[in-house]
Amino acid sequence: VRTKLHESQTQINFDKEQLRLKEMQLKTMREVVMGLQHHVNNPLAIILLYLGRLKRKFAGQIEVLSEVEQIELASKRISTALVDFSSAQQYEVEYVEPVVGSIAMPPKR
């Protein structure tokens, strides 16, 4: 009985430690994302502002507008990724390639 109680208590302690570790990882991830947002959102806002100006300036030039639209879509993807990371309650791990390795991803919508 003592052995089973000891094993049970050891497992409970292990599970608690794993939970604390996951909570700390999640907290650290949120802090990193908030710092990244802080440093990326201002330049991103300026890019989007100038893209609007470029659209008006080159309103009749389809080729230029197409390229501006691609930049705008990429900028919005960055913004969306930052929002997704900051609002995620959990993260998934995805293996990208041998050079990069595994990366954290917000859950897919």
Tell me the pLDDT tens digit for each residue of 32-47: 888 999 899 999 999 9
> Mean per-residue pLDDT for 12-23?
94
Mean pLDDT across the chain: 90
pLDDT 10s digits, 69-91: 999 999 999 999 888 888 888 88
What torsion do the CA atoms of 79, 52, 66, 62 make, to the nearest 10 degrees?
170
Q: How confident is the model at residue 109 (pLDDT cuts 50, 70, 90)?
A: low
The predicted model gives 46-67 an average pLDDT of: 95
Distance between CA atoms of residues 66 and 87, nearest Å: 31
**At a CB cut-off of 8 Å and minimum separation 6, what does 84 contact?**
106
Q: What is the pLDDT of residue 15?
A: 96
pLDDT of residue 18: 95
Does 65 have pLDDT greater than 90?
yes
**Mean pLDDT confidence for 5-18:** 95
User: Which of 86, 103, 83, 107 is CA-nearest to residue 95?
Assistant: 103
Q: What predicted TM-score, i.e. pTM, was given to this entire model? A: 0.68
Q: How many residues does the chain have?
A: 109
The label of the residue with tokens 């109680």 reads 5
Closest by Cα among 27, 50, 48, 30 to 38: 30
Which residues on neighbouring strands pair with residue 101, listed in sequence order? 97
In the prediction, which pLDDT does 20 show? 95
